Amino acid sequence: MTGENEKETRHDFIRDMVVEDIAPGGRFEGKTICTRFPPEPNAYLHIGHAKAVWIDYGIAEEFGGLFNLRFDDTNPAKEEQEFVDCIIEDVRWLGAKWDGRLFFASDYFGQMYEWAIELIKKDKAYVCDLTPDQVSAHRGTLTAPGKNSPYRDRPVEENLDLFTRMKNGEFPDGVKTLRAKIDMAHPNLNIRDPIMYRILHTEHHRQGNKWCIYPMYDWAHGFEDSIEGVTHSLCSLEYENHRPLYDWFIDAVNEGRTDDGSGPWGKKINHPRQIEFARLNLSYTVMSKRKLIDLVRGGHVRDFDDPRLPTLAGLRRRGYTPEAIRNFCAIIGVNKFYSTIDVALLEHCVRENLNKTSPRVMAVLKPLKVVIDNYPEGQVDQLDAVNNPEDPSAGTRKVPFSKELYIERDDFMEIPPPKFYRLSIGKEIRLRYAYFIKCINAVKDNAGNIVELHCTYDPATKGGDAPDGRKVKSTIHWVSAKDAIPAEVRLYENLFTKENPDDVPEGKDLTVNLNPKSLEILRNCFVEPALKNAQPLARYQFERLGYFCVDPDTANGILTFNRTVSLRDEWAKIQKTQKI
RNA sequence: UGGGGUAUAGUGUAAUGGUAGCACAACUGACUCUGGAUCAGUUAGUCUAGGUCCGAAUCCUAGUACCCCAGCCA
């Protein structure tokens, strides 16, 4: 994974714990480190998940261990195969490798069921007939202890019988649960006799109708890890309050078990260590599952792969590289408190990567026609252009030049303000890789809009250098009008206008912070002919404009590009300060 | 008002009793056939108050602020 260009992963508190665990006398001395990424297949992955994947996968790799991709599919009501497929694609795209270690929690339902029976026999679990409302009422509050369920002291035999009948489908949804017998007065609410199994007569995407009881997260997750030989179970901060339960369930199964398997209960099972870290938050966007769904359902974005979304599918379509995302993950590090990373850092990472790897081409987004008055009608020059100044091995290409060209509308100003180095009447500039041109006059339509420029060129400056040594203040990009390929270009800005989209007036939702300019579609763009057969997801730098990625919509017949990120733009900054 | 966590420049992250460093952002300047890239530089920080120590971001005490927990979700 760690290519030459990737940032070195720093030491962090999790890695410190791993080092401590494998050291002599440590909890996992002599064991192979194993981590897992355990998505629930009910949503698309976003860059926050990329952070998690990269911590999990990164640690496994660093310590010569194993990495499991495991679907935590314990709730049949919400999960679908479609998400399984997309998540696999995203994790693979990111660059994590699981070498056949693809697992499903639902495959462990049988084993978990047996352990549940074991807990009942050890008098650590009971079948409870309380309704959901009653369970809630018995739970107590943050400050007041809960009350014991009246079914808490059922005899073991009765529990065994009832639980078997629950499994056999004899009871309707919701009328009974299996609960752990722990402590209804515990200050940590999670420990007040947590529910282990609920009845759900729902078809499971992999198990079909085999089960009508399904395990709850707290009961299931530690066992999923244990079965797979996971040593370090890394999760987000909100599970900190659940760690005592994670440990309690495994300890409960291990009670009475022995290292060599002698005795009535058999061999001890693996007890992984759960470690929590903070999720990623990014400025100007949202990461929560529910909010992303709302944005899609509300029609505020096109779909889950809308390039404005922080989903991995969206970032991919936008033109982000896995390498850029990995570097970003390495830079942001791991911590235990909530923080929000400036989206500018993500943009920095993708620019840094794309600068080194993207072929340069010329494209005009908002075209203004230029006629070179003294250039011979019908003549074409094939000029040499460098494909990537950062990478000589990328070579050069030919770019056609002719009498009629398009330049960027923004590169001409009739009344140039101070520090405007580009084209204006009477001024000379360079057309990249071509000639020096001087603007003679601007043709306007009846409404006063400039529709065409007339310029002259200096044949002696072919290739872009003046033999007499004279300098120009600026170089602009262009395309030959008769050779240009029409294209559609989609420009993106932050989806929200506020750093924290949830910062809304009382009673409003985050849609009030939606950026009306988050998508701008330009349909009259022209790109140089080298792009004729550009394939979906290919990435380019449009010189002086930014990095662009071919959108899959190109298959519909119109060459379409997404702007991944703009280039740093000094002139835009100057303009901003001039306006103020 | 119970329990569990966390506090370092604008943002993020190092320093594990010994010069508070790095990155992003911002701002200067140099260079440039991309106002890109690159290079050089500037601004800016240990939550508060005490204490221990030759020496504290780090250890101790007392505060303060913020986050998480009352789904048969994960």
Residue A172 pLDDT exceeds 80: yes
With bands split at pLDDT 50, 70 and 90, how would you rate the model's confidence at A577? confident
Q: What is the pTM of this model?
A: 0.96
With bands split at pLDDT 50, 70 and 90, how would you rate the model's confidence at A10? low
Give mean pLDDT, residues A470-474. 95
Question: What nucleotide is nearest A7 when CA is compared to C1'?
Answer: B23
With bands split at pLDDT 50, 70 and 90, how would you rate the model's confidence at A227? very high
Note the residue count of chain A: 580
- The answer to whether A579 CB is within 7 Å of strand B is no
Q: What is the pLDDT of residue A7?
A: 56
Q: Which pLDDT tens digit goes with each residue over A515-542? A: 999 999 999 999 999 999 999 999 999 9
* Interface ipTM: 0.97
Residue nearest to nucleotide B4 (CA to C1'): A241
Question: What nucleotide is nearest A543 when CA is compared to C1'?
Answer: B34
CB within 7 A of strand B (chain A, 385-424): 388-390, 419-422
Residue A238 pLDDT exceeds 70: yes
Q: Which residue has the tokens 């030989």?
A: A229
Q: What is the pLDDT of residue A3?
A: 39
Are A217 and A151 contacting, i.e. CB atoms less than 8 angstroms apart? Answer: no
With both helix axes pointing from N to C terminus, report the angle between A47-62 and A322-332 in degrees, rounded to the nearest 10: 80
Would you say the C-alpha torsion A221, A225, A228, A233 has a positive or negative sign? Answer: positive
Q: What is the pLDDT of residue A78?
A: 86
Q: Which pLDDT tens digit goes with each residue over A297-316? A: 999 999 999 999 999 999 99
With bands split at pLDDT 50, 70 and 90, how would you rate the model's confidence at A6? low
Question: What nucleotide is nearest A433 when CA is compared to C1'?
Answer: B33
A40 given a catalytic annotation:
yes
Chain B, protein-covered positions (CB within 7 A): 1-8, 10-16, 23-27, 33-38, 66-74
Residue A5 pLDDT exceeds 60: no
Are A245 and A218 contacting, i.e. CB atoms less than 8 angstroms apart? Answer: yes
Q: Which pLDDT tens digit goes with each residue over A379-389? A: 999 999 999 99
DSSP string across A119-181: HHHTT-EEEE---HHHHHHHT--SSS-----TTTT--HHHHHHHHHHHHTT-S-TTS-EEEE-
Residue A505 pLDDT exceeds 90: no
Q: What is the pLDDT of residue A11?
A: 81
* Range name among A8-17, A233-242, A364-373 with the lowest pLDDT average: A8-17
Burial of A152 (0-12, 13-18, 19+ CB in 10 A): middle
Residue A477 pLDDT exceeds 60: yes
